[in-house]
Amino acid sequence: MVRTVRRLLVTILACAIPAAGPAALEWPIAGGVPALTFGSRRAGRFLPSMAVGPAGAPVRAVSPGEITFLFDGDKLPSGLPCPLGGIVAMSHPDGMISVYGRMERGSLPFYLRSVAAGDILGRAGTSGYFAGREASFTLFDRVKRQYLNPQVLLPPVRDDRAPAVRGVFLAAGGRTYPLGETRTLRQGTYEVVADILDPLSAPDAAPRAPYSIRLLIDGKEVVRYLYDAARAEDGRLRFFGPARRDSDSYFLDDGRIRLGQFLLARGRTTLVLLVSDYAGNEKETGGVLLVE
């Protein structure tokens, strides 16, 4: 039942966002499995795009549009380094901009202007900062000036594996208390962090982000991260959800996700962490603490 409701929510969202955007998108790499999803940790902060591979595979336009910017190299003519490598940017009639980065040198279509969905734009992943791995794919809503999670709009990837929660931890005063192993805690404010990844069906170690994270304390929802969109506000990239987490403070150095600081009052406290992926698979983890 819960899974059905989740799938329904994802479907509604996938329909709601394209109200200002495309009706349907095609995967930039056919049969593509994202190496990194929107919100994954990369370069110490969350990624407002996705990485799709493998390197060398043809990269296709996800929907019809017009090419607005092409660049083939690692340094722009002005001398600005270009860690995004080879770039193709497209403007779509519905106000979306798609950007394909880290494309192979010499593979870009400098002769093209109008592009149909599925047209080849180049080959993936041999330029820029993460050369030799994947292409970068970004979707941006020009009207709202926000990044969109492409995976909400792309055809679903077969996935019957639930997200993995490798641990939930409470930290205070320089000490960390793993939930489940800890029975009693002293009253006070604790930072809750979680070690979460979405393994998809294919077994690989890429730390993909889930689709949503909810934390309930004593049945009350205190955190709700929804990986649907992000935008820069006042020079800081933030998730565009109720939590509005700052990109720089979202992850700990070891990749665990910060869920926030909470005051635990005396008595029995129940913590429940609900994590779901794009296919609606859900993982529930929790524990009961006696706060003294």
Partner 1 sequence: MRDVDERPNRLLYAIFVLVFLAYFFVAAVPLRRELSLHSDWAADVSRDSELDGASASGPLYTFYWGGRYGAVSEDGARRWSRGASFDAAVSDSLILPYARESRLLTAVTPSGAPSISIQAEGWPFFRAGRLFLVSPEMDSVSEYSRDGKLLWSYDFPFKIVDFDASATLAVAGTLDGSIECLDAQGRSVLSFSPGGSRLEMILGVALDPRGEAIAAVCGADRQRFVLLVRKGGSFKVQYHRYLESDYREPVTVRFTGDGRFVLFRQSEGIAVYDRESGRESVLPLRVQSFELAADSSRGLEYLFTRTARTGQVVCFEPPTRIIFSYTLPGGDLWTRYLGESLYLGSGAVLGKINISEE
244 lines the binding site for partner 1 (CB under 8 A): no
Closest approach, Cβ 37 to partner 1, in A, equals 14
Q: Of residues 106-135, which lie at the interface with partner 1 (CB under 8 A)?
A: 110, 113, 128-131
On the CB side of 250, how many CA atoms lie within 13 Å of its CA?
A: 26
For partner 1, the binding residue among 27, 100, 137, 140 (CB under 8 A) is: 140
Applying CB under 8 A, what is the total number of residues that bind partner 1? 49
Which amino acid appears at position 189 of this protein? T
Query: End-to-end CA distance of the chain, in Å?
Result: 37
Contact with partner 1 (CB under 8 A): which of 3, 11, 30, 75? Answer: 75
Which of 138, 149 has the CB closer to partner 1? 138
Give least dist CB 24 to partner 1, A.
22
Q: Which is nearer to partner 1, 131 or 252 (by Cβ)?
A: 131
Q: For partner 1, which is the closer residue by CB, 65 or 163?
A: 65
User: Contact with partner 1 (CB under 8 A): which of 52, 115, 193, 237?
Assistant: 237
How many angstroms separate the CA atoms of 236 and 267, rounded?
38
Which of 101, 163 has the CB closer to partner 1?
101
SS (H, E, C) the chain: CHHHHHHHHHHHHHHHHHHHCCCCCCCCCCCCCEEECCCCEECCEECCCEEECCCCCEEECCCCEEEEEEECCCECCCCCECCCCEEEEEECCCCEEEEEEEECCCCCCCCCCEECCCCEEEEECCCCCCCCCCEEEEEEECCCCEEECHHHHCCCCCCCCCCEEEEEEEEECCEEEEECCECEECCEEEEEEEEEECCCCCCCCCCCCCCEEEEEECCEEEEEEECCEEEEECCEEEECCCCCCEHHHHECCCCCEEEEEEEECCEEEEEEEEEECCCCCEEEEEEEEEEC
Among 173, 174, 219, 235, binds partner 1 (CB under 8 A): 235
Residues 16-55: x where in contact with partner 1 by CB under 8 A, - otherwise, as a string: --------------------------xxxx-xxx------
- Pairing state between β 282-291 and 184-185: parallel
Specify the residue, 140 or 190, whose C-beta has the smaller distance to partner 1.
140
Asked whether position 255 contacts partner 1 by CB under 8 A, the answer is: no
Residue 78 touches partner 1, criterion: CB under 8 A = yes
Q: Between residues 136 and 276, which has the closer beta carbon with respect to partner 1?
A: 136
Judged by CB under 8 A, the stretch of 83-91, 155-163, 177-185, 274-282 that binds partner 1 is: 83-91
Give the residues lining the site for partner 1 (CB under 8 A). 42-45, 47-49, 66-71, 74-84, 87, 89, 91, 97, 99, 101, 110, 113, 128-131, 136, 138, 140, 142, 145, 231-232, 234-237, 247-248
